[in-house]
Structure 1
């Protein structure tokens, strides 16, 4: 039996639970990696090659501290707005600013 033993129950206030959940979310966030000139040149060459031969690419983007992927074809490069127009498999056009791109890979 439990006579003489103290039973402890975990008790947390809702504010503490929310703070712990937010801290766990913040741990998953990443900083934008710094790309050197060689890395940027490889990405640029890969994008031009994919546009030439109409190949799909996987674009890894940094959005609000998380890395997201878009798989699609480079539809247009807008040098004035400094963004790519990427057409995905559902024919949706995504406007992707140059500075949000972390990596580009062949699919």
Structure 2
């Protein structure tokens, strides 16, 4: 206690609730998941339209890379997002309309023709 002009002033320590005040936000995982889904949906984009000339250019680049065993960098559209796959073209399957890309030695990824939105020959 302090005396100030014949008046007692009591200094009290402030009791903070600490972690408890954040407990509501982190206690409901469905709210957090909903917020993440909302942010993810805002980042989605429409699939780019590939015209015939671009599709033919992609085919020529894939054919060139297959013939000379060069690596390709494919830009793949999937559910509103694009990803990049880099590897060598192992096989072009005309029946299932898929490319088999060898990403690492012995590891393959299948990519549908319709999902490819960009092709670049790396080597």
Both proteins in one fold, TM over 0.5: yes
> 1:21 offset after TM fit, Å?
2.5
Matching residue within 66, 80, 83 for 1:65: 80
Gaps of 5+ in 1: 1-10
Distance (Å, rounded) in 1 between the aligned partners of 2:114 and 2:105: 24
Number of paired residues?
A: 99
Q: Which runs of 4+ in 1 moved over 2 A?
A: 11-21
> 1:62 offset after TM fit, Å?
1.3
Give the match for residue 4 of structure 2. Answer: none
Greater relative contact order (CA < 8 Å, ≥ 6 in sequence): 1
> 1:37 offset after TM fit, Å?
0.8
**Cα RMSD after superposing both structures:** 2.1
Give the match for residue 95 of structure 1. Answer: 110
Give the match for residue 52 of structure 1. Answer: 67
TM (normalized to structure 2)?
0.70
Give the match for residue 83 of structure 1. Answer: 98
Gaps of 5+ in 2: 1-23
Matching residue within 8, 18, 33 for 2:48: 33
TM (normalized to structure 1)?
0.79
